[in-house]
Amino acid sequence: MKKTSTRLADGRELVYYDSRDDLARDAADRRPLDAVSTASEIRRDVLLGDSVAVASHRQARTYHPPADECPLCPSRDGRLSEIPDTDYDVVVFENRFPSLAGEHGRCEVVCFTSDHDASFADLSEEQAGLVLEAWTDRTAELAAVPGVEQVFCFENRGAEIGVTLQHPHGQIYGYPFTTPRTALMLRSAAAHREAGGGNLFDEVVERERAEGSRVVMEGEHWIAFVPYAAHWPYEVHLYPKRRVPDLRALDGAARTEFPQMYLELLRRFDRIFGTGEPPTPYIAAWHQAPFTAPERDEFALHLELFTIRRTSGKLKFLAGSESGMSVFINDVPPEAAAGRLREVAS
pLDDT (tens digit per residue) in 317-330: 999 999 999 999 99
Give the domain range for residue 109.
Answer: 2-175
**pLDDT band at residue 277 using 50, 70 and 90 as cut-offs:** confident
Q: Is the same domain home to 101 and 46?
A: yes
- Assess whether pLDDT exceeds 90 at residue 34: no
Q: Is the same domain home to 223 and 301?
A: yes
pTM, two decimal places: 0.95
Whole-number Å distance between alpha carbons of 258 and 83: 27
Whole-number Å distance between alpha carbons of 105 and 14: 17
Q: Rounded mean pLDDT of the chain? A: 94
Q: Is the same domain home to 196 and 140?
A: no
**Could you report the per-residue pLDDT of 296-309, keeping only the tens digit for each?**
999 999 999 999 99
Q: Are 217 and 224 in contact (CB under 8 A)?
A: yes
Within 13 Å, how many C-alpha atoms sit on residue 203's CB side? 10
Q: Is the same domain home to 19 and 150?
A: yes
Between these two residues, 64 and 128, which has the higher pLDDT value? 128
Query: CB neighbours of 183 closer than 8 A, spacing ≥ 6?
Result: none
Q: Pick from 175, 190, 210: which residue ends a domain?
A: 175
Q: Pick from 132, 155, 175: which residue ends a domain?
A: 175
Whole-number Å distance between alpha carbons of 45 and 179: 13
Whole-number Å distance between alpha carbons of 91 and 131: 9
- Assess whether pLDDT exceeds 80 at residue 57: no
Q: Is the same domain home to 297 and 199?
A: yes
Count: domains in the chain:
2
Q: Is 221 a catalytic residue?
A: no
Does the CA dihedral 287-323-325-227 come out positive or negative?
negative
Q: Is the same domain home to 159 and 218?
A: no
- Assess whether pLDDT exceeds 70 at residue 283: yes
The CA angle 183-186-188, to the nearest 5 degrees, is: 110
- Assess whether pLDDT exceeds 70 at residue 95: yes
Pick out the residues of the known binding site for Zn(2+): 70, 73, 116, 167
Q: Is the same domain home to 211 and 298?
A: yes
- Assess whether pLDDT exceeds 70 at residue 59: no
Whole-number Å distance between alpha carbons of 169 and 126: 17
Write down the catalytic residue from 169, 237, 287, 302. 169
CATH of the domain at 231: 3.30.428.10
Q: Pick from 126, 155, 175: which residue ends a domain?
A: 175
Q: Is the same domain home to 248 and 126?
A: no
Question: What was the pLDDT predicted at 63?
Answer: 61
Q: Is the same domain home to 73 and 147?
A: yes
Q: For 219-244, give one letter per residue: b (16+ CB within 10 A) or e.
A: bebbbbbbbeebbbbbbbbbbbeebb
State the amino acid at position 207 in one-letter form.
R
Closest CA to 203 of 188, 220, 216: 188
Q: Is the same domain home to 296 and 205?
A: yes
Q: Is the same domain home to 171 and 187?
A: no
Q: Is the same domain home to 82 and 112?
A: yes
Pick out the residues of the known binding site: 70, 73, 116, 167
Within 13 Å, how many C-alpha atoms sit on residue 212's CB side? 1
